[in-house]
């Protein structure tokens, strides 16, 4: 038998156009599409890593080119560090300014909990410190994970530079005094403190699932039943603070990054660095205007921004924004610079409702609108909010029960009809029923 000198058929030339009916044409197109997608993905990864390298090197022009081409300014490496972290470490003021101009997250936390400002303080880059604080970076209270009596704990540390600032020392001791009084499932548990030596520290329970801000970034929008569950956690913790005896406690900086998730997935209110106690009156008036270093502008009530007297209802305003963020999948006015957002609140503008109407069923939208009312006295208390949320939660559960019930009925009917087809005696006996 004559052997084929060329057992493998010759491959088609890729230089020539193929038949539109060739069986390999779709496979080739799919392979080409996959290759192109992989190439694009690799190019994006390379550009992000390039951004990190150039930020470390202080290459302003190279960074401009990458950012203008669409590279993600908030890319985080394996240690969750951003280009802003690296530029802050190096003291590259121009690079820091450029990154901030492109909406870099000013308080991004790496895997160890450090922010760009904390890094700038550690490396004594004073110009960068001023620039970051101007853009709303929080004071350098740094969280670390440590072992205490054989268990993991969170340690909040204030550096030596805080001792020269009487206001910060007083705020730290006020936070300690508050934490010592608190015992609630939805409030972070205080464990101990170091106050007589430098650095001063507060030790609290460690919640490894991290803050709610990171969770929302991963999940985007939440289902209504999940959002209501989290909202109840927040409301219960805040109600405990507001009804605390003998003095009510105002958090004043309620935002997703100050809410932590425990092992069971429930939320706990944390970070009382700017909280206030209503000791002798029903309202508070600051001696100086609140700055973006004191509280997040994106979640601040208008009366706080205007430096007016305020009460516990400022936390209700912040709560409304967080609840809406859970449904919408993005922070309030996410496309606006943070320092512009409170001006919108003052002019009575609120984040738009873009999610489908069914996601705001059973009065959820109306509750949010009441909570962010421009007039504080019209906002409900957290005790009232809990009652409303419980009612919404029950209605959501009832709807789910009916859906499952309808489905089971359908399955039972389908099974009966199947048995009826297979067993004529059932059909004949059932036909005699009157």
pLDDT at 21: 42
> Taking 90 as the threshold, does the pLDDT of residue 398 lie above it?
no
Residues 6 or more apart whose CB falls under 8 angstroms from that of 354 comprise 328
Q: Cα–Cα distances in Å, from 343 out to 90, 297, 303, 328, 394?
A: 34, 9, 11, 21, 37
> Taking 80 as the threshold, does the pLDDT of residue 238 lie above it?
yes
pLDDT (average), residues 294-305: 84
Residues 6 or more apart whose CB falls under 8 angstroms from that of 32 comprise none
pLDDT digits (tens, 9 = 90+) for 332-390: 998 888 888 999 999 999 999 999 999 998 999 999 999 999 999 999 999 999 999 99
342 token code pair = 């409170």
Give the count of beta carbons closer than 10 Å to the beta carbon of residue 327: 23
CA angle, corner 82, sides to 77 and 86, nearest 5? 110
Query: Where does residue 311 rank: exposed (0-12), middle (13-18), buried (19+ CB within 10 A)?
Result: buried
Report yes or no on whether pTM surpasses 0.85: no
pLDDT at 325: 97
**Are 78 and 52 in contact, with CB atoms under 8 Å apart?**
no
pLDDT digits (tens, 9 = 90+) for 244-272: 887 888 998 899 989 999 999 999 999 87
Q: Reply yes or no on whether 253 is catalytic.
A: yes
Q: Which member of 253, 271, 294, 311 is catalytic?
A: 253
**Are 205 and 158 in contact, with CB atoms under 8 Å apart?**
no
Looking at every residue in the chain, the average pLDDT score rounds to: 80
Label residue 164 by pLDDT band (50, 70, 90): low
Q: Cα–Cα distances in Å, from 383 out to 4, 93, 136, 237, 243?
A: 87, 47, 32, 11, 9
CA 290 to chain centre: 23
Which region among 104-113, 194-203, 423-432 has the lowest average model confidence (pLDDT)? 423-432
CA angle, corner 190, sides to 188 and 195, nearest 5? 135
Q: What share of the chain is helix, strand, coil (3-state, %, to 5)?
A: 50, 10, 40
**Are 274 and 314 in contact, with CB atoms under 8 Å apart?**
no
pLDDT digits (tens, 9 = 90+) for 29-88: 555 556 565 656 666 678 888 999 999 999 999 999 999 999 999 998 888 899 999 999
pLDDT digits (tens, 9 = 90+) for 9-25: 444 444 443 443 445 54
**Are 193 and 157 in contact, with CB atoms under 8 Å apart?**
no
Query: Where does residue 31 rank: exposed (0-12), middle (13-18), buried (19+ CB within 10 A)?
Result: exposed
User: Three-class SS string for 249-267?
Assistant: EECCCCCHHHEEECCCCCE
Compute the CA torsion angle 36, 42, 48, 53 (nearest 10 deg).
-140
**pLDDT above 70: percentage of residues in the chain:** 72
340 token code pair = 């512009």
pLDDT (average), residues 291-317: 84
CA 29 to chain centre: 40
> Taking 70 as the threshold, does the pLDDT of residue 170 lie above it?
yes
Domains of the chain as residue ranges with CATH:
37-137 (1.25.40.20), 139-206 (3.30.200.20), 212-394 (1.10.510.10)
């Amino acid at each position: 038998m004559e052997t084929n000198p060329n057992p493998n058929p010759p491959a088609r030339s890729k230089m020539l156009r193929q038949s539109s009916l060739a069986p390999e044409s779709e496979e080739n197109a799919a392979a080409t599409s996959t290759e192109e997608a992989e190439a694009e993905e690799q190019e994006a990864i390379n550009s992000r890593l390039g951004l990190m390298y150039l930020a470390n090197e202080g290459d302003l022009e190279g960074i401009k080119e990458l950012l203008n081409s669409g590279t993600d300014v908030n890319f985080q490496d394996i240690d969750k560090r951003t280009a802003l972290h690296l530029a802050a470490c190096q003291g590259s003021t121009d690079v820091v300014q450029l990154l901030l101009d492109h909406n870099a997250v000013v308080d991004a936390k790496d895997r160890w909990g450090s922010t760009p400002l904390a890094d700038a303080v550690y490396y004594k880059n004073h110009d960068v410190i001023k620039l970051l604080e101007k853009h709303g970076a929080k004071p350098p209270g740094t969280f670390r994970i440590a072992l205490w009596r054989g268990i993991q704990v969170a340690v909040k540390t204030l550096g030596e530079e805080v001792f020269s600032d009487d206001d910060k020392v007083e705020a730290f001791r006020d936070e300690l005094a508050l934490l010592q009084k608190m015992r609630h499932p939805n409030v972070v548990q205080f464990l101990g403190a170091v106050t007589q030596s430098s650095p001063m520290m507060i030790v609290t329970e460690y919640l490894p699932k991290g803050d709610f801000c990171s969770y929302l970034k991963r999940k985007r929008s939440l289902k209504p039943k999940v959002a209501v569950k989290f909202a109840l956690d927040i409301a219960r913790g805040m109600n405990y603070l507001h009804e605390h005896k003998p003095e009510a406690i105002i958090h004043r900086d309620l935002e997703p990054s100050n809410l932590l998730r425990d092992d069971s997935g429930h939320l706990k209110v944390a970070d009382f660095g700017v909280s206030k106690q209503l000791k002798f009156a029903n309202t508070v008036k600051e001696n100086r205007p609140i700055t973006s270093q004191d509280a997040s502008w994106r979640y601040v009530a208008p009366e706080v921004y205007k430096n007016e007297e305020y009460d516990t209802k400022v936390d209700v305003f912040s709560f409304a924004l967080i609840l809406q963020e859970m449904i919408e999948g993005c922070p309030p006015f996410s496309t606006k610079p943070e320092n512009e957002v409170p001006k919108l609140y003052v002019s009575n503008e609120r984040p738009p409702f873009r999610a489908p109407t069914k996601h705001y069923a059973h009065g959820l939208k109306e509750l949010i609108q009441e909570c962010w009312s421009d007039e504080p006295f019209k906002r409900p208390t957290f005790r009232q909010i809990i009652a409303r949320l419980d009612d919404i939660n029950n209605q959501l559960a009832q709807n789910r029960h009916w859906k499952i019930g309808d489905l089971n009925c359908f399955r039972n009917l389908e099974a009966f009809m199947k048995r009826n087809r297979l067993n004529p005696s059932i059909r004949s006996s059932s036909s005699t029923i009157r």
